[in-house]
Structure 1
C-alpha cells in the first residue's frame, strides 16, 4: 500500500496559525527568561556594592535601582500616604509612605517606612504612627516605585493622609509641588516603631519561563506533526 499525502487548505491554515502562535509565545518566554537572568545578575551585583549616599543631586534611577542607599534629613510629617491592599502573612494592611527632605537640599525622596495592619472594624481608618522628629538617617533599598496593585479607573491625585492604591515619585511630585527624586527608598533601618519592613524581593523564576517556552514550542511541533500525520492517513484511506 502506497502512502499519499492529501493537502487540505483549512487544516493547513489552522496549523499555520498554531505553529506561528506557539513559536511567538515561546520566543516571548525565552526573552522573559533572559530579562529575569539579567535582573538576577543586577541584583547580585548591586547588593554587593557599598551604600550610596543620596544628597539631593539628580540621580539616574535605573543606575541605582536595588542599591543600598543612605539618606540624612527630616521627614515631612504632613504628607503621609497609605498604600492600600498590601497584605502581610494573611493580614490586611497598609504600607506607609512619607516624603523625606534631604539635608542641605530642597529635594525630597519618598520613603516606604514599613507595613502596618488595618483596623478591621473601620475600613478607611488609618493608624497613627510616630514620626522620628528632627534630623535622622534612613537606610534602605532604592526601587523605582512600590509594587503595583490592580486599580480600576483613574485615581485622583494623592492628598496628605490619603489611602491610595498606587503612587510613584513623578505623580507625588506633581501633586505635592515638591522636588522629588525619581526613586523610592524601602527603609530597612530601625526607628523605634512597630512597622514591619519585610520587603518582597523582585519575582525571579527563570525556570518557570523556560518551562513555558518549552510548552509553547511543543505545541507548535505537535500541531505540525498532527497536520502531517493526519494528511498521510487521509491519503491512505482515499487510496484504499
Structure 2
C-alpha cells in the first residue's frame, strides 16, 4: 500500500494537537478543583487583617478578611443589573478608609431598584464612624455583561461594572487590589446572600471530552481513508 505522506502527516498533527488540548483542559479542571478545596479551607480559617500594606490579589483572593475603618458614602457606586430572586437591583460598592491607613473597596450588599424611577436609589443605612467588617476578598465586585464600556464610564453613580485599578486612578485613592465582599451585618438592611463562587470545572471536563472526541474522529477518518486507498486497484 502506497502511503500518501502529506494527508497522513496532517491527520497525525490534528490528532496530536487535539489530544494535547484535551490534556490542557483536564489540567485546568484539576487546578480549579484544587482551588475549590482551598476555598473551602479558607472559609474555616481565621480572617486575615487588612491594613495599609498592599496585599497581592493572588495571595488574598477568596480568603476571609477583617478590616476596621469608616465608609465613604460620598464615593459610593451602584452596580446595575444585579438581580436577586428575580428582582432587579444594585450592588452597593463603597470605599472604606482603613483605620491604620490605606483604602479598600467594599461590596456592601444588594439593594432593590426603585421600580418607578430607575435613577432613584432606595434609602439604606451607612454606619457612622469607625466600624469593623468581615468578608471575603474577591478580584472584583462581580462582573455583568456589557457592550463596550459606556455603562462603566467614570464619575457615574450607577454603572455596569467597576474595575479596582481604574477606580483608584479615578478617585486618587490608594486602594487595595481587591474588593471585600462583606458578610458581616451592620444593620444597614442590605442583602448579603452571596452566591457561591463557580469556577466552571464541569465545563473544562466537557471541553476535554470534545477535544479527545475530535482526536478519535480524525484518527478514524484517517484509517478509513487509508483503507479505501488500499482497496483501489493499482493504477486506478
Scaled by the length of structure 2, the TM-score of the pair is 0.86
Which secondary structure does the structure 2 equivalent of 1:218 belong to? helix
Count of aligned residue pairs for this structure pair: 234
Structure 1 Cα separation of the partners of residues 171 and 71 of structure 2: 14
Deviations 1:38-84 (A, max 9, x none): 31132133223211122322222221211111111111120110111
Equivalent residues of 1:157, 1:171 under 8 A apart: no
Structure 2 Cα separation of the partners of residues 189 and 35 of structure 1: 30
Question: Could you tell me how far 1:25 is from its partner in structure 2?
Answer: 3.2
Counterpart pick for 1:219 among 214, 218, 228: 214
Alignment pair present for 1:7 and 2:4:
yes
Alignment pair present for 1:87 and 2:116:
no
Structure 1 Cα separation of the partners of residues 51 and 84 of structure 2: 32
Structure 1 Cα separation of the partners of residues 47 and 75 of structure 2: 27
Stretches of structure 2 lacking an aligned partner (at least 5 in a row):
none
Deviations 1:116-171 (A, max 9, x none): 22223333333232211122111111112122222322346532x61112213211
Which secondary structure does the structure 2 equivalent of 1:238 belong to? coil
2:42 corresponds to = 46
Equivalent residues of 1:5, 1:232 under 8 A apart: no
Structure 2 vs 1, CA of residues 5 and 195 (structure 1 numbering), >3 Å: closer, same or farther? farther
Question: Could you tell me how far 1:6 is from its partner in structure 2?
Answer: 6.1
Which secondary structure does the structure 2 equivalent of 1:62 belong to? helix
Scaled by the length of structure 1, the TM-score of the pair is 0.85
Identify the structure with bigger relative contact order (alpha carbons < 8 Å, sequence gap 6+).
1
Structure 1 Cα separation of the partners of residues 21 and 176 of structure 2: 37
1:126 corresponds to = 121
Structure 1 Cα separation of the partners of residues 16 and 158 of structure 2: 45
1:69 corresponds to = 65
Root mean square deviation, CA, Å: 2.5
Stretches of structure 1 lacking an aligned partner (at least 5 in a row):
none
Once structures 1 and 2 are overlaid, which stretch shifts more, 21-30 or 36-45?
A: 21-30
Equivalent residues of 2:79, 2:161 under 8 A apart: yes
